[in-house]
Amino acid sequence: MKSSKHFFLFSILFCFVNTVIHTPVYAQDKSDVITMLNGEQKQGKVISISENSIKFKYTGEDLEYEIPRKDIHKIDFSSGRTEIINAMVSPALKAISASERKGKLAVLPFRVVSNEPSISPDAMGIQIQEDCAVIFKEEILQGIVVQDPMNTNALLAQNNLDASNIAVKPPKDLAELLGVEYVVFGSFDVNQKGTRSYGTNITSYKDKRKKDYDRSKSENKGREIATSTGTTTIEYDAKIGIKIYNDQGNNIYTDSRDPFGNNLDVYHSGLKYMIKRCPFGSKAKH
């Protein structure tokens, strides 16, 4: 009898503890969670969703609130479904006004195409980008500020962009993304044509010492020694080009050069020539 009484009391206690433990979890699972664009979270129940706002009640309250849709990032419904209301935008990537972009210029990584196996297109593209930015700083008129290529590339990387896929963004959008008025696109095509060798041959004689000095002079020429010197160079066929767009998407300058040289850095002279003659270059025609 006593054993039955203990079992009955244990059963009641177990049911009570189980209810206390699980009731809050159940209530939490039945809540909707609204995440705001500023990171704040609101927990409760979404009553309705309209074109401009969302009606919402906090957990444990009866008062109904109206939240503007423009301030909401997403809603995690109690059913497990998530609805994105507005994409989350990093403060660093927010659009910069036209007045703030005025007079600023960004050089994009260059697109490099080559049959030279020693070339890494990505590495060379950034190398030419940096050289191009330096030349712009040296050769353009005052009033134009050149963005540091490291900042340019960081902003591109945050949007999963690089030289290989940058063409998916229109120039206008890239200018706004980078916070500049002008964007510079560039390409470098370099193909190895082969090698060419240059050399000379020289013949000399080493005198023989003979016991009989009465022999004719022609017989005392000595031993013939032949030597040669030469160099081998790799020849390249190269073309460098740039295009400048403004933040309205208009192409304001396009040019290309076929620089001469046997080194891979032949692009430098071509860049210098073109940048000097761009609309705000030191030799521009006004």
CATH number of the domain at 79, please: 2.30.30.100
pLDDT of residue 74: 92
Q: What are phi and psi of 151, to 5 degrees?
A: -70, -40
Instruction: Indicate whether 47 belongs to any domain.
Output: yes
Do 107 and 237 fall within a single domain? yes
Do 245 and 107 fall within a single domain? yes
DSSP 164: T
Do 39 and 132 fall within a single domain? no
pLDDT of residue 138: 93
Which residue has better confidence, 94 or 45?
A: 45
Instruction: Indicate whether 3 belongs to any domain.
Output: no
Do 59 and 176 fall within a single domain? no
> Residue 244 maps to which CATH number?
3.40.50.10610
Identify the sign of the CA torsion 250, 253, 255, 261. negative
pLDDT of residue 188: 93
Q: What is the DSSP string of 80-108?
A: S-EEESS----GGGSPPPHHHHTTEEEEP
Do 137 and 240 fall within a single domain? yes
Instruction: Indicate whether 25 belongs to any domain.
Output: no
What range does the domain containing 54 cover? 30-88
Average pLDDT, the chain: 80
Instruction: Indicate whether 22 belongs to any domain.
Output: no
The 10s digit of each residue's pLDDT in 267-282 is 999 999 999 999 999 8
pLDDT of residue 20: 43
What six digits make up the tokens of 272?
Answer: 């210098």
Do 74 and 100 fall within a single domain? no
The 10s digit of each residue's pLDDT in 6-48 is 555 545 555 544 544 444 444 445 799 999 887 789 999 999 9
pLDDT of residue 86: 87
Give the span between the Cα atoms of 185 and 170, in whole angstroms.
Answer: 11
Do 98 and 75 fall within a single domain? no
Contact by Cβ (8 Å): 57, 64? yes
CB contact burial 14-41 (16+ within 10 A = b; e otherwise): eeeeeeeeeeeeeeeeebbbbbeeeeee
Do 35 and 126 fall within a single domain? no
The 10s digit of each residue's pLDDT in 158-191 is 888 888 889 889 999 999 999 999 999 999 998 8
pLDDT of residue 223: 55
pLDDT of residue 117: 84
Do 73 and 145 fall within a single domain? no
| Residue from 113, 108, 232 nearest 174 by CA | 108
Give the span between the Cα atoms of 238 and 190, in whole angstroms.
Answer: 4
Which residue has better confidence, 81 or 233?
A: 81
Do 241 and 166 fall within a single domain? yes
Do 182 and 42 fall within a single domain? no
